[in-house]
């Protein structure tokens, strides 16, 4: 039988919900996870995979970092390609030894799912019609349908880790919530292929034809992106058309090294900047995409979710161990200070690297001039590096 009472009810079994559940379990705090989709569906979602140190450390703290350290690729720099030339930003050298790790979000999610299954912790997949109740009291409840029956879980707290379209943020009182949003007039066409990467590090491309990104999942699996109009349909993009357009946006060295092959997955994702304030409504808390979305240009989405989870798990542990509500009272403000800094960087980097349909050629020249300044200035390179690897947590205190 599904549990009827727990300390923390977590809505959503994406990486933020699973990571929160694992950290709470390690601290001896009961939790139940409800997920609208099946486990296979959750694992089928192809997402980014550039991890900051805060995310790496939390995976280790949760006891699920072994495969990540074995298979993840540590990157000490990124390359910016504009005006037909590449310029390396030395992340490691400019930040006092910090790096990022490339490890697919799908693999991170798989590690967390398997750890939860191995520990026998409760998780309900295909939980339909989830609703949250009485979160403005000390006795919140979560109701859902599963297996043809209606179930209810009484809890001390609700963690809304159910994404941008989830029920938790939608259930917050409209008069108590402010939402900020910017929708960008293009999307990212992504292609995953079992081909060696075009470069050992990520290559961000500013081209007159539009943005491109050469990324990777392993030394034999690549992930590439092209900026495309929002009106484009995935059916219109054959593999051959994708590879041809990517070649047109690369430099000579990239074209020479590019290995093409059949796509494993292909999709078009819209870009938006979105922030909800606050992230707490009584005894319901929002974390991850439920509270904020960033354009993927700055690789901040998963890492911001991990920071939310770090603060939220710490607040819950403090409450259940000492009775102090300091952590839960300050959760929203602490997260939002860091969120807005990451949102700003992601917006700035997106504006710098993409071509906007309403802009004329002069804006492209402005971008190239700014990029030329940045890569030839130590202060400019350091600004990119510090933000890309993730600002220290004490910046948000």
Tell me: the pLDDT tens digits for 25-54? 999 999 999 999 999 989 887 677 899 999
By DSSP bridging, strand 78-82 and strand 203-206 are parallel
In Å, how far are 75, 257, 296, 381, 390 from 374, measured between CA atoms? Answer: 20, 27, 21, 6, 18
Task: Please answer whether residues 299 and 172 qualify as being in contact, where contact means their C-beta atoms are separated by less than 8 angstroms.
Answer: no
Catalytic annotation present for 75: yes
- Residue 116 CA, chain-centre distance (Å), reads 21
> pLDDT, tens digit, for every residue of 95-115?
999 999 999 999 999 999 999
pLDDT of residue 370: 98
> pLDDT, tens digit, for every residue of 154-169?
999 999 999 999 999 9
Compute the distance between CA of residue 276 and CA of residue 291 in angstroms, rounded to an integer.
5
> pLDDT, tens digit, for every residue of 116-161?
999 999 999 999 999 999 999 999 999 999 999 999 999 999 999 9
Q: CA geometry: angle at 147 spanning 141 and 151, to 5°?
A: 15
Q: Where are the alpha helices (DSSP H) in the chain?
A: 15-26, 39-44, 53-61, 66-71, 91-94, 105-118, 167-171, 239-249, 252-257, 301-322, 326-353, 361-375, 378-389
> Which residue range forms the structural domain that includes residue 280?
8-73+101-180+272-355
Q: Is 388 contained in some domain?
A: no
> pLDDT, tens digit, for every residue of 219-246?
999 999 999 999 999 999 999 999 999 9
In Å, how far are 61, 143, 263 from 130, measured between CA atoms? Answer: 30, 6, 36
pLDDT of residue 394: 67
Is the per-residue pLDDT at 397 higher than 70?
no
Q: CA geometry: angle at 327 spanning 324 and 333, to 5°?
A: 145
Catalytic annotation present for 103: no
pLDDT of residue 3: 83
With residue 186 as reference, give the H or E element that holds it.
strand 178-193
Place of tokens 């959503």: 12
The mean of the pLDDT values for the chain is 96
Catalytic annotation present for 125: no
Q: Is 3 contained in some domain?
A: no
Instruction: Kindly name the residue from 98, 292, 300, 354 that is annotated as catalytic.
Output: 300
Task: Please answer whether residues 381 and 374 qualify as being in contact, where contact means their C-beta atoms are separated by less than 8 angstroms.
Answer: yes
Q: Is 243 contained in some domain?
A: no
Strand partners, 113: none
Instruction: Kindly name the residue from 140, 184, 296, 310 that is annotated as catalytic.
Output: 296
Give the total number of structural domains in the chain. Answer: 1
What confidence tier does 202 reach under pLDDT thresholds 50, 70, 90?
Answer: very high
What is the token pair recorded at 242?
């994708």
Is the per-residue pLDDT at 2 higher than 80?
no
Q: Is 161 contained in some domain?
A: yes
pLDDT of residue 392: 87
Q: Give the global pTM.
A: 0.95
Q: Is 346 contained in some domain?
A: yes
Decide which of 393 and 388 is more confident: 388
Is the per-residue pLDDT at 1 higher than 80?
no
3-state helix, strand, coil in the chain (%, to 5): 40, 25, 30
From 4, 65, 67, select the one nearest 30 (Cα to Cα). 4
Q: Is 62 contained in some domain?
A: yes
What confidence tier does 255 reach under pLDDT thresholds 50, 70, 90?
Answer: very high
Q: Is 226 contained in some domain?
A: no
Is the per-residue pLDDT at 395 higher than 60?
no
pLDDT of residue 207: 97
In Å, how far are 124, 165, 171, 276, 278 from 177, measured between CA atoms? Answer: 29, 16, 10, 7, 6
Catalytic annotation present for 225: no
Q: How would you class 32 by CB atoms within 10 Å of its CB: exposed for 0-12, middle for 13-18, buried for 19 or more?
A: buried
pLDDT of residue 45: 78
Non-local CB neighbours of 146 within 8 Å, separated by 6+ positions: 2, 124, 126, 127, 128
With residue 123 as reference, give the H or E element that holds it.
strand 123-124
Instruction: Provide the CATH number for the domain around residue 18.
Output: 3.50.50.60
Catalytic annotation present for 311: no
Instruction: Kindly name the residue from 15, 75, 103, 292 that is annotated as catalytic.
Output: 75
Answer whether the bond into residue 278 is a cis peptide, omega within 30°: yes
> pLDDT, tens digit, for every residue of 265-312?
999 999 999 999 999 999 999 999 999 999 999 999 999 999 999 999
Mean per-residue pLDDT, 189-212: 97
Mean per-residue pLDDT, 76-104: 97
Question: What does R_g of the chain's alpha carbons equal in angstroms?
Answer: 21
Place of tokens 């494993």: 264
Q: Is 301 contained in some domain?
A: yes
What is the token pair recorded at 28?
């001896």
What is the token pair recorded at 100?
């990022």
Instruction: Kindly name the residue from 103, 184, 204, 331 that is annotated as catalytic.
Output: 204
Compute the distance between CA of residue 284 and CA of residue 158 in angstroms, rounded to an integer.
5
> pLDDT, tens digit, for every residue of 362-381?
999 999 999 999 999 999 99
């Amino acid at each position: 039988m599904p549990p009827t009472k727990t300390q923390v009810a977590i809505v959503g079994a994406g990486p933020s919900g699973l990571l929160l559940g694992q950290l709470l379990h390690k601290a001896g705090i009961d939790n139940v996870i409800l997920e609208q989709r099946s486990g296979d569906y959750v694992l089928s979602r192809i997402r980014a995979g550039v991890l900051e140190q805060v995310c790496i450390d939390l995976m280790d703290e949760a006891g699920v970092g072994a495969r990540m350290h074995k298979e993840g690729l540590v990157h000490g720099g990124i390359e910016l390609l504009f005006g037909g030339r590449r310029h390396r930003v030395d992340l490691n050298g400019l930040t006092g030894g910090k790096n990022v790790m490339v490890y697919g979000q799908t693999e991170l999610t798989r590690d967390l799912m398997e750890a939860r299954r191995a520990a026998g912790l409760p998780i309900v997949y295909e939980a339909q019609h989830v609703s949250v109740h009485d979160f403005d009291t000390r006795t919140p409840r979560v109701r859902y349908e599963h297996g043809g029956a209606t179930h209810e879980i009484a809890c001390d707290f609700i963690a809304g880790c159910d994404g941008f379209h989830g029920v938790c943020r939608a259930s917050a009182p409209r008069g108590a919530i402010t939402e900020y949003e910017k929708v960008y007039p293009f999307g990212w066409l992504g292609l995953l292929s079992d081909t060696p990467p075009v470069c050992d590090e990520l290559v961000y491309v500013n081209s007159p034809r539009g943005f491109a990104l050469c990324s990777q999942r392993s030394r034999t699996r690549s992930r590439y992106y092209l900026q495309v109009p929002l009106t484009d349909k995935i059916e219109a993009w054959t593999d051959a058309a994708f590879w041809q357009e990517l070649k047109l946006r690369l430099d000579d060295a990239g074209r020479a090294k590019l290995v093409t092959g059949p796509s494993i997955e292909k999709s078009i994702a819209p870009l938006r900047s979105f922030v909800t304030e606050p992230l707490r409504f009584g005894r319901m808390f929002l974390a991850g995409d439920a509270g904020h979305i960033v354009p993927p240009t700055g690789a901040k989405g998963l890492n911001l979710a991990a920071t939310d989870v770090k603060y939220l798990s710490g607040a819950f542990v403090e409450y259940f161990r000492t009775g102090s509500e300091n952590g839960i009272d300050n959760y929203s403000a602490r997260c939002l200070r860091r969120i807005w800094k990451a949102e700003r960087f992601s917006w700035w980097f997106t504006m710098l690297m993409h071509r906007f349909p309403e802009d004329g050629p002069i804006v492209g020249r402005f971008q190239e001039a700014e990029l030329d300044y940045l890569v030839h200035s130590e202060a400019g390179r350091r600004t990119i590096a510090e933000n890309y690897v993730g600002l220290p947590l004490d910046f948000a205190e």
